[in-house]
Structure 1
Amino acid sequence: MKQDVAELCAQLIRFDTTNFGEGNSRGERDAADFIWGLLHQAGYDPVLLGPDAQRSSVVVRVPGTDRSLPGLLVHAHLDVVPAEPEQWSFDPFAGIIKDGYVYGRGASDMKDMVAMTLATLLDWASAGTKPRRDIVVAFVADEEDKGDYGALWLVAEHPELFVGVEAAIGESGGAATILTGADGSPVHLYPVAVGERGTLHIRVRANGTSGHGSRPVETNAVKVLISALDRVGNYHWPLTLTPIVRDYMERTTAALGFAADLTDEEGVQAAIEAMGSAGAVAAVTVRSSSTPTVLRAGYKVNVIPGVAEADIDIRALPGMVEETLATIDGLLGAGISREFLSFQPPTSSSSDSHWFAAMTAALTRHDPAAVVVPYCMGGGTDAKAFAPLGISCYGFSPMGADPEGRSSAGVHGIDERVPVASLVAGQLILEDFLGAV
């Protein structure tokens, strides 16, 4: 019997693996133990490991029938962002299945992919199926923070687990997006991520003169910092069409039946609007970005602090890291120092590879009307940890279209959910891809 992927997803949701950031987490250990047990019982040889007892990942290598072929990594994270139960319509960790959805924190980020991957491995074990090439599967901790307890730790401490791996698939790609073409007909778009903007998290600091709040000082650290953050946060980053983003926009608008003019900002904006919901991805990847997110200064209303700090989330396009940092330094100006909290360079892989072709083939076998396009992620995933090993990384966590129009929702928000039909279809696509690649 094939695994019930929806029930498996619901079971995984019931493990509270909340990651609060800065090393503060409920821990992934219970979920990792559950997965390890299922894989071990099915006859696999998984390893359970991590930097401490509660921050655990599970890695298993499934030998292929042709060990001379380069291996493929499938990675999916076990941790989830916090949920505020008072804002939800139900317990975020109840793992409810109703009305055609699986509900709960992590349903679509990304215990859906964990469930699909795990179901595929268990189905293979039950049927005695073996892939053509080695498939390494990593169910990892700590993706929702820096990865120090998960993918980055695995790469640094156990690179031997990934020997022979040439490519990887992970979250954010391969899901059906149903758009309306210029002639009114539906277009089944399946974006697959072939790149990610770089993540540059910095802490900036302004030093001034402490004093009494009633007696203004010449250099007020809070005022200096606020002025710098105003320049950084309101800077209009220049339009930069990287090859990946240009390809995504050209292919998508062509599929929709629109003639896109990408020669200037006005034309790019018109193309983004013509792309409908698919334009949201392009809108955040046609330029770098800088967003102040955290402020720290002072301890008493009548005391002028001598130091003020802020954290800034910067995203740099592929090939634009040095230019982006130079711009940031110019915007910060004199009297501001900066340091990296984390730095993960952009990633970029080829859409002309046989890996991308195999993903396209799997999607079109399931949906003959599929239009598969490469795109660049605005955010980031664990791909940034694996790319330095020389692994070509793709965002491919397939999801089929729900026949009744349901769609995933609530990622990092409230009432997170994934359609059961999309989950079932996604698992079939994933199993097809992994078996054929």
Structure 2
Amino acid sequence: MSLLLLLVVLTFSKCKKGSDAATPENPLTQTDTGVAATSTTSGIKSLQTFRVASDGGYSYRVYELPVSGDSQSQPKVSTMRVFEDGKELGPAHSSAADIRNIGKGRFCHWLTSVYISASDNSDPRTNGRKYTYTLDGSSGSVVQPPVTSPVAPPATSGAIIGYAMVDGKTTGGTGGQTITVTTYSALKNAVSSNTATIIKVSGRITGTGYLNVGSNKTILGMKGSSLEGVGLLVYGTSNVIIRNMTIRNVVTYSNIVIKEGAHHVWVDHCDLSSDRNHGWDYYDGLLDVGNRADYVTLSYNRLHDNNVAMLIGFGDANTNDIGKLRVTVYKNYFYNVSERQPCTRFGTMHVFNNYLQNGSGYGIGVTMGATVRTDNNYFENQHYAIYTDFNSKPGFVSGASTNIYKGSVNKISTAASSWVPTYEYKSELIPAANVPATVMANAGAILNL
């Protein structure tokens, strides 16, 4: 009752004087769960899940701080420091208009409230980050996020699970010559033919554009190797295995593209990245499948620091993809990605045991009549975890209830599907709660080849 009385009499209108005055909603009408401050004044304190109100734009008002801060007569008296996952936000004492319209971590402590904005202008009520503060000037205001209990990762057998082993097998260069390449020209020559070959990539190889990969190839990244600036294109070929490759910063093209009827392709234990500092058009995606490609498995990969990580189906007009784009996506680690984790049009896609962390847009996109089965995935800090309501029409989702959603919500506009793939995968399936530890320990170019 005392809290309600406090909220009724609280002055709602100011963070700075004049036209910068804030006009938040009455908190008594708010139903959103968000953050509110703990009630002591010394040391490191948390802005804990309780109640928060939008103040418009990027600004969010947290109520009932234990001491008063800035005021009209003393506009910079507050000593509050605010931290997001341990990183200090600021500038402090910002105007309400700047917090609303610019955000980017600006905040102010006005009277007994604090007006904050997230560092990336996301909603602090749903982005899953830890917000802490001090009022005594402490510099160590870091409250570590909870650590998932370690889970002993299962040994990976190296067997292929899913669509790459349906209606045929994916064996890559098995039975062919094994060669080691250390230069761009040697790699280009090695991948170009359709002769069965196992290609080991050693050292750092640089280039631009992409290399066409012929059929019957296994491409293996040796420990410490990388492919910088140049991608791999599986264009209309088949029976291709790409494993343990680190591919970075491919301009204009995606790091790996599988298209034009390519089939029976396995991409496993690769580390694929670019950055999000150059805008959305400088880099493309990281791992894309489209234009009638079929029977593909994508497993144990790290896809990170990119805006549009994984696309299955390239356009709403590509109706010739119907009946194709059968793709299995499992135990991949997506982080610091904007969207497409993955997104599919028209395809039939099975997505299980993936860890999607800190996505500013959406996780799994399901559109243009695509059918997607999800099993035991872990979504953390996704604006939308599973999203159907974009492009020309939505798709269909089964198994959504099997996933864990931490700081994430779904936006699914279609009735639940009952589809389940017919191939055996239950022996590989682990509980959703174990996914973060297992995937982080096993995904990426970690194989000792």
TM-score (normalised: structure 1) = 0.23
Question: When you count strand as a share of all residues, which structure comes out higher?
Answer: 2
Q: Answer with 1 or 2: which has the greater Rg.
A: 2
Question: When you count helix as a share of all residues, which structure comes out higher?
Answer: 1
